[in-house]
Structure 1
Amino acid sequence: MRAIQITEFGGPEVLTEVDLPDPVAGPGELLVDVSRAGLNYADTHQAENSYLAKQELPLVPGGEVVGTTGDRRVVALTSGGGGYAQKAVVPEATAFDVPDGVDDVTALSMVVQGATAWLLLRRSAHLEEGETVVVHAAAGGVGTIAVQLAKRWGAGRVIATASSEDKRALALELGADVAVDSTSPDMTATLREANDGRRVDVVLDMTGGAVTDQSVAALAPFGRLAFYGMASREQPSPIPPGKLLVRSTAVAGMWLPHAFTLPGRVVHRAMGELFDLVLAGDLRAVPGGEYGLSEVRRAHEDLRSRRSTGKLVLDPSR
């Protein structure tokens, strides 16, 4: 089968197209004929071994696929990679049947980005009706869905941040009330100004560095920042507990794999609700572009440069 393999860690240049033997599913696993693989910002960390889970070489990257296994059409999370290929083995526990009427790009948009947005708002930030929600990187995969869910779930105001006029226009089209420049040198002041001078209640942040520091400083009493990535590749400043006490604020981290350890099949519940919203016309994925295996380096360059919007996918047939 055709696949992308990494034999040394680094940037997009380490992604190499190869022919590999077909993988074999073991107990509790499914073999998926991959029609599309998802491309995520986390994949760029995986390629350079700076991800939360340490990687081992050689590696076929890719954490999500959609395709068929027997008579089932499924979207699934892989276990430690394997998605950038024509066939992939996935744990049965992280595979979800795709309803008729849901296309490949939408299915992939829901399994990582959609579930992440759902968990950030429902479990990490515990969004309450009427609260102000800030969505950083609002034109990205998680951001485009989080903007829609926050509005649907009763946010009083959704403030989107994005780096270009086109991205900010997309966030407004999806339901954001205000869209501001993510390159603002003083994000604390920018967020308060966008909220009519008031502090904000919820921040969804995948940027890191100064953006995180300044977003924490913009939180209202009992405000919550949910941190789920570090696209800037810069660590935020340490937050002493006293700094949280002084305004009764909270900072939570969220990594999707941990959600599968929760009782009550939380991720399955999230996926069911997300697919229902899609089928009802109340939630839409934003296609961001499709790449063939031979174009995977360009895909990673686009991800790293933050040029992309919405959901990027890989077509292993070309």
Structure 2
Amino acid sequence: MRAVQITEFGGPEVLKVSDVDEPVAGDGQVLITVDRAGVNYADTHQVENSYLSKAELPLIPGGEVVGHTADGRRVVALVGSGGYAEKAVAHAPYAFDVPEGVKDGEALALVLQGTTAWHLLKTSTHLQPGESVLVHAGAGGVGTLAIQLAKLWGAGRVIATASSEEKRKLALELGADAAIDGDPEGLKDRIIEANGGKPVDIVLEMVGGPTFDESFDALGRFGRLVTFGSASRQAAKAIEPARLMKGSKTIAGFWLADCFKTPALLGDPLKELFGLAVEGKLRPIVGGDYALSDIATAHEDMRARRTVGKLTLDPTR
């Protein structure tokens, strides 16, 4: 079968389509004929082996797929790796039936970015009605969904950051009350200004480096910042305990993989998200559908911040 298999770590240049053996489903697993595979920013880290979990070669990247099983089920599944291929294997508890009315790209957006946004707001930061929320990368896969969920769940004011006027416009269309430039220079002041002159209650942060630092400084009393990525590939400054005590601030971390040992931590939020999408209350954004042979371009576009929403791969092309 056709698959993107890497034999060395590196940037987009190591991503090449190869002919490989089809995977075989073992006990408790399902074989899926892939209609679309998801592309995530985390994949760029996995390919260069800079992710939280270390990868081994040879590797077929790709953490989630949507497709059909041999018995005719249409499922979206988290596979960990192996998604950039015509067929993939998933453990049965992580293959979820896709309801009518949810398209392939939407299912891929909801199973990973959607469940991430759900946990960031409900599990990690415990959003309360009326609180202000800052969403970094508001036009990205997680950001576009987090903006909408925060508004649905009663956030008082939602502020998004984005790198271009077009992306900021999208964030506003999705319900953000304000959208600002995400450049770290002067970011704290722009955040507070966008929140009516007040520090924010919650920050969803996945850039790292000085963006993390500026965001932390923009937190108000009892504010919570959750970090779930490091797109800048830069380290933030160390936070002294006294800086947490003053203002009673909280820093949390979130990694969706920590939900994998308890399938309900994925299945229950996904069921809720599917319901919201079917009802028209939640709009997953699919920003690009690439041919499998164009996977390097997909990674280049993502790393250069040229994309919005969820990116998908078509293994038939």
TM-score by length of 2: 0.98
**What amino acid maps onto 1:223 in structure 2?**
G
SS at match of 2:128: coil
Equivalent AA in structure 2 for residue 279 of structure 1 = V
- CA shift, 1:184, in A, is 4.7
Q: Is the contact between residue 111 and residue 271 of structure 1 (CA under 8 Å) also seen in structure 2?
A: yes
1:186 and 1:32 map into 2 onto residues whose CA distance is 48
CA contact (8 A) 1:32 1:67 kept: yes
* Partner SS state of residue 260, structure 2: helix
Query: Does residue 1:76 correspond to 2:77, yes or no?
Result: yes
Cα pair 1:260 1:267 within 8 Å, conserved: yes
Tell me which residue corresponds to 2:280.
Answer: 281
Distance apart, 1:107 and its partner CA: 0.2
1:140-169 CA-partner distances (Å, limit 9, x unpaired): 000000000000000000000001000000
Q: Which residue of 2 aligns with 1:85?
A: 85
Q: What is the CA–CA distance in structure 2 between the aligned matches of 1:156 and 1:105, rounded to whole Å? A: 30
2:75 and 2:172 map into 1 onto residues whose CA distance is 32
Say if 2:208 and 2:234, in contact at 8 Å, map to a contact too.
yes
Deviation digits for residues 78-98 of structure 1, max 9, x if unmatched?
03x100000001111211110
Secondary structure of the residue aligned to 1:261 is coil
For residues 76 and 201 of structure 1, the distance between their equivalents in structure 2, rounded to whole angstroms, comes to 34
CA distance in 2, matches of 1:240, 1:29: 46
Question: How many corresponding residue pairs?
Answer: 316
1:248 partner SS: coil
Matches within 5 A, 1:34-113: 34-69=34-69, 70-79=71-80, 81-113=81-113
Q: Does 1:221 align with 2:221?
A: yes
Q: Residue 299 of structure 2 aligns to which amino acid in structure 1?
A: H
1:275-306 per-residue CA deviation (whole Å, 9 max, x = no partner) reads 00000000011111111111010000001111
Aligned letter for 1:284?
R
Amino acid at match of 2:277: V
2:138 partner amino acid: A
Q: Which residue pairs with 1:195 in the alignment?
A: 195
Distance in 2, matches of 1:249 and 1:310, equals 30
Specify the alignment match of 2:208 in structure 1: 208
> Could you tell me which residue of structure 2 aligns to residue 270 of structure 1?
269
Where do 4+ consecutive residues of structure 1 move more than 2 Å? none
**Whole-Å Cα distance in 2 between the matches of residues 261 and 253 of structure 1?**
17
Native 8 Å contact 2:184 2:210 kept in 1:
no
Give the aligned partner of residue 180 of structure 2.
180
Instruction: Tell me the secondary structure at the aligned position of residue 85 of structure 2.
Output: coil
Identity of matched residues, %: 58
Give the match for residue 317 of structure 1. Answer: 316
- Mind listing any 5+ residue stretches in structure 2 that lack a counterpart? none
How large is the Cα RMSD of the aligned pairs? 0.9
Say if 1:184 and 1:190, in contact at 8 Å, map to a contact too: no
8 Å CA contact 2:187, 2:215 repeated in 1:
yes
Tell me the distance in 2 between the aligned counterparts of 1:188 and 1:168. 17
- Distance between the aligned counterparts of 1:92 and 1:120, measured in 2? 25
